[in-house]
Every structure is written in C-alpha cells, then in structure tokens.
C-alpha cells in the first residue's frame, strides 16, 4: 500500500546517504520522453479530492474531540492544494486517475490538513498532476523539474479558474497549501490576486505553509502581522530547535502560536493542540515555537505522532518536522481561520 511505501521512503531518507536515496526516486527518462496523463476535467467531481456538497475526508475531525465539520454554514471558501504524495519514478508527474494514489492523498493530507478549515470554510481541493518528489531535488537535469512543476501548476490554475467561475459566487476566499501545494498557491496569488483589487478584497488570508515565501513576495500582499489581519499571508517551516538551514534564511516566517513575526519564544502553553498521525485526538501544548533565521524552531514533541521529514529544496535538514507543519498547530490554525473570517466579515461595509 502507498501508506506503507511512504514509511519506507521516510526510512530510506533517514538511513541512506542522500545521493543514493534520491537516485532511487529519479524518473528513468527525461520529462520530454514521457506522455503526460490526461488533464483533469474539473467539471467532474472525480477531479476534486474535496468538495463541500459531498462526503469526503476533508469533513473529518479527530474522533476523540468536540470539533465538528461546519461547512454547510461556513461563510467563506478555502481553495486548498495538497502537498506531494507521489514519490516514485514511474513518471515526472502523477496520474489523477491513479486510484491508489488518490486514496493515500485523501487519507493523509486531505484528512489531516484540509480538514483544519472545515469549521469556517467550504473546502475545495483539486486533484492535479503533481510533480514527483524528486523534482524538488533536481536542480541540474535539463529542466525536468521545472517542466514537471509547470505541468502541475497548469492543473492548479485551471482548477482555480473553474472554482471562480462555477463555485465561488463572490464569497470570501482563503488560499491554502502545503509544500508543493504552497509552491503552486504562491503562484496563484501572483497571477490572480496581486494585481486584481477586486479579487484581493475577497482574500481572507493565504496559508502558505511548508515552502519558501519571501516577505516581499508580492507587490500588494504582505505577511500577516497579527491574528486579525486579513488580505495577508501566513508562512512557516517547522524544524527542531538548534538547527539551521541556510537556503531558508531570508524567507518570511509567521509564529502560529502568536501570529506575529518577532523572534520571541512562544511557550507550549499557547499551543491549543496538535493532532498525531492517527488523527484520533487533540494533544494540548504539544510544542513551543520560535522564529529563527527563516525557520520556525520547535521543541520536538514526544515520539510516535509527529514525524520528521525533509524540507523541499536542494539541501536536506534531517531535523525537519515538515510533514507535521499543520498537525503540530492544528487547533491554533483552526481557530485562527475562524478569527480571520470573522474579522474579514466585520470589515465589510
């Protein structure tokens, strides 16, 4: 099963030399040698991992909690782009008709990340021909990574256009993603929001988590300065305290326990609760958080529920909690979405 395969991949990344492991993930041929699978048709429900008018994993909440899915009465929408769940070398891009991959995506990132928004927003999460994981470690191979990511973004762009034309109906919008999903949503903000005042006025906030976003990324959209600001973006990458990752030093970071960008330590008592891999309960005070040189430093939580993984890019930080960027701060994020939606509505004439 893909879930077991992902655990094997994680073990390989932790135990093997990076070069050896990445060679196992590299597609056998250049991008141009593959015929991409058909593009998704976003008029079909099967092209979406989550839609608000049907049951799907984005409706989930931890079983041992009082949380509830409230999409039916939500005042806003979220357009959520999931992270990389395609790790293998069969092609540079995934096939959205791959049922096993879709099940893994749904049970992991849609259930454990997109669900964070279901108290305050209707969730729209497209399937797309995501670039394989190796694309984020291939900086020299004849533009293969660039082409794979361009193909992936073309699907995300098409899905967002379809969402605007057929689903949004003028409602306030949250843009959100993680890892590869954030790479694509960062581009969406450039293309659709940065130079469109009308659409930008409907932007509640963007949660650009798990990738590199500069503080001055946009001409008109800035990092959020507090928990109430709207029309801004939140971004961070979680790593164990005491570890540096030079490629991230000049990028923006938001502290999800204080919603500020200062470098003061936010103690664990401010952490309302995270969710572990089994997604069964809320664990309060799971970790603290402190901004340091483009990273969010955290004290590693107890083992078992909050896995470490790699940051996307040319280098690897083995003390990264990349996979757990959402789950470490699940309840703080959930409540902040509610707060910003209320603030956006209060600011309307």
Query: Tens digits of per-residue pLDDT, 155-198?
Result: 999 999 999 999 999 999 999 999 999 999 999 999 999 999 99
Tokens of 227: 């928990």
Summary mean pLDDT of the chain: 90
Report the share of the chain in percent with pLDDT over 70. Answer: 89
Pairing of strands 290-292, 295-298: antiparallel
Question: Please, which pLDDT band fits residue 1 given cuts at 50, 70 and 90?
Answer: very low
Q: Which residue has the higher pLDDT, 22 or 259?
A: 259
CA 329 from centroid of its chain's CA atoms: 13
Question: Please, which pLDDT band fits residue 52 given cuts at 50, 70 and 90?
Answer: very high
Range with lowest mean pLDDT among 47-51, 55-59, 88-92, 223-227 = 88-92
Specify the pLDDT at position 176.
Answer: 98
Residues 6 or more apart whose Cβ sits within 8 Å of residue 317: 239, 243, 245, 310, 311
CATH fold of 2-235+326-346, please?
Answer: Rossmann fold (3.40.50)
CA–CA dist 92, 147 (Å, integer): 9
- Flag whether pLDDT at 139 surpasses 80: no
Q: What is the mean pLDDT of residues 133-137?
A: 86
Specify the pLDDT at position 320.
Answer: 86
Specify the pLDDT at position 137.
Answer: 78
Question: Please, which pLDDT band fits residue 4 given cuts at 50, 70 and 90?
Answer: very low
Q: Which residue has the higher pLDDT, 321 or 4?
A: 321
Closest CA to 176 of 114, 134, 228: 114
Closest CA to 71 of 120, 113, 29: 120
CA–CA dist 38, 4 (Å, integer): 27
Q: Which residue has the tokens 């939500």?
A: 74
Specify the pLDDT at position 307.
Answer: 75
Residue ranges of the domains in the chain? 2-235+326-346
Cα–Cα–Cα angle for 214, 332, 81, rounded to 5 degrees: 55
Greatest alpha-carbon pair distance for the chain in Å reads 58
Residues in the chain: 349
Specify the pLDDT at position 335.
Answer: 98
Question: Could you write out the three-class secondary structure of the chain?
Answer: CHHHHHHHHHHHHHHCCHHHHHHHHCCCCCHHHCCCCCCCCCCCHHHEEECCCCCCHHHCCCCECCCCCCHHHCCEEEEEECCCCCCCCCCCECCCCCHHHHHHHHHHHHHHCHHHHCCCEEEEEECCCCECHHHHHCCCCCCHHHHHHHHHHHHHHHHHHHHHHHHHCCCCEEEEEECHHHHHHHHHHHHHHCCCHHHHHCEEEEEEECCCCCCCCCCCCCECCCCCCCCEEECCCEEECCCCCHHHCCCCCCCCCCCCCCCCCECHHHCCCEECCCCCEEECCCCCEEEECCEEEECCCCCCCCCCCCCCCCCCCCCECHHHCCHHHHHHHHHHHHHHHHHHHHCCC
Quick: pLDDT tens for 223-235. 999 999 999 999 9
CA–CA dist 190, 168 (Å, integer): 19
Quick: pLDDT tens for 294-341. 999 999 988 657 777 666 554 455 688 999 999 999 999 999 999 999
Specify the pLDDT at position 22.
Answer: 66
- Flag whether pLDDT at 5 surpasses 50: no
- Flag whether pLDDT at 2 surpasses 80: no
Q: What is the mean pLDDT of residues 215-230?
A: 98
Range with lowest mean pLDDT among 67-81, 89-103, 300-314 = 300-314
Cα–Cα–Cα angle for 89, 90, 91, rounded to 5 degrees: 90
Quick: pLDDT tens for 16-41. 444 455 667 889 899 999 999 999 99
- Flag whether pLDDT at 77 surpasses 50: yes
CA–CA dist 275, 273 (Å, integer): 7
Prediction pTM value: 0.93
């Amino acid at each position: 099963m893909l879930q077991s395969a992902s655990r094997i991949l994680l073990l390989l990344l932790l135990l093997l030399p990076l070069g050896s492991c990445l060679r196992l993930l590299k597609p056998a041929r250049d991008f141009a040698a593959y015929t991409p699978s058909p593009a998704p048709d976003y008029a079909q429900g099967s092209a979406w991992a989550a839609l608000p008018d049907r049951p799907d994993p984005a409706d989930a909440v931890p079983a041992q909690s009082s949380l509830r899915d409230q999409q039916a009465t939500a005042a806003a929408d979220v357009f959520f782009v999931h992270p990389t769940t395609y790790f293998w070398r069969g092609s540079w891009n995934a096939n959205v008709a791959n049922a096993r991959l879709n099940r893994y995506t749904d049970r992991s990132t849609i259930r454990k990340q997109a669900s964070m928004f279901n108290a305050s927003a209707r969730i729209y999460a497209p399937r797309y021909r995501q670039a394989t994981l190796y694309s984020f470690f291939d900086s020299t191979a004849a533009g293969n990574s660039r082409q794979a990511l361009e193909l992936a973004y073309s699907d995300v762009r098409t899905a967002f256009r379809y969402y605007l034309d057929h689903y949004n109906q003028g409602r306030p919008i949250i843009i959100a993603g993680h890892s590869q999903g954030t790479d694509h949503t960062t581009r969406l903000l450039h293309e659709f929001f940065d130079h469109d005042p009308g659409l930008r006025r409907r932007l509640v906030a963007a949660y650009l988590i798990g990738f590199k976003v500069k503080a001055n990324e946009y001409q008109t959209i800035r990092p959020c300065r507090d928990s109430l600001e709207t029309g801004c973006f939140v971004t961070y990458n979680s790593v164990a305290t005491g570890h540096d990752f030079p490629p991230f030093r000049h990028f923006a970071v938001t502290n999800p326990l204080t919603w500020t960008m200062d470098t003061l330590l936010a103690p664990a008592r401010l952490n309302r609760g995270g969710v572990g891999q089994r997604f069964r309960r809320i664990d309060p005070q799971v970790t603290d958080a402190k901004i340091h040189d483009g990273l969010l430093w955290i004290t590693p939580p107890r083992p078992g529920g909050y896995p470490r993984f790699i940051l996307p890019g040319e280098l690897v930080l083995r003390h990264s909690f990349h996979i757990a960027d959402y789950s470490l701060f699940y309840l703080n994020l959930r409540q902040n979405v509610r707060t910003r939606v209320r603030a956006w509505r209060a600011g309307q004439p």
